[in-house]
Structure 1
Amino acid sequence: MSRIGKAPVVILQGVDVKKDGQTLTVKGPLGQLVRKFHNDIIIDVQETEVVVTRPSESKLHKSLHGLTRALIQNMVTGVNTGFEKRLEISGVGYRAEKKGNKLVMNLGFSHLVEMEDPEGIETIPETNTKVLVKGISKEAVGAHAANIRAKRPPEPYKGHGVRYSDEVVRRKEGKTGK
Structure 2
Amino acid sequence: MSRIGLKPIAIPEKVDVKIDGNVVTIKGPKGELTQKFDPRMEISIEDQQLVVRRSSDSKEDKALHGLTRSLLNNMIQGVTEGFEKRLEMVGVGYRALKKGKALEIEIGYSHPVVVEPAPGIEFEVDSKGKNNIIIVRGIDKQLVGQTAAEIRAIRPPEPYKGKGIKYVDEHIRRKVGKTG
TM-score bin (small chain): over 0.9
Indicate conservation of the 8 Å contact 1:91/1:161, yes or no.
yes
What is the aligned partner in structure 2 of residue 97 from structure 1?
Answer: 97
What do you get for the CA RMSD once the two structures are aligned?
Answer: 0.9
Q: In the aligned structure 2, how far is the partner of 1:13 from the partner of 1:106?
A: 44
What is the letter of the counterpart of residue 153 of structure 2?
A
Deviations 1:63-84 (A, max 9, x none): 1000000000000000000000
Pair 31,47 (structure 1): closer, same or farther in 2 beyond 3 Å: farther
CA drift at 1:159: 0.4
CA drift at 1:13: 2.1
Which runs of 5 or more residues in structure 2 are unaligned?
none
Q: In the aligned structure 2, how far is the partner of 1:108 from the partner of 1:47?
A: 56
**Matching of residue 56 in structure 1 with residue 56 in structure 2:** yes
Q: Secondary structure at the match of 1:126?
A: strand
CA drift at 1:46: 2.7
CA drift at 1:47: 4.3
Counterpart mapping for 1:1-178 below 5 A: 1-127=1-127, 129-177=132-180
Alignment TM-score, normalising by the size of structure 2: 0.96
Deviations 1:5-61 (A, max 9, x none): 000011012011110110000000000000000011111123411000111111110
Q: In the aligned structure 1, how far is the partner of 2:140 from the partner of 2:54?
A: 25
Identical aligned residues as a percent = 54
CA drift at 1:100: 1.0
Which runs of 5 or more residues in structure 1 are unaligned?
none
What is the letter of the counterpart of residue 93 of structure 1?
G
Q: Which piece of structure 1 moves more, 95-104 or 44-53? A: 44-53
Moved over 4 A (4+): none
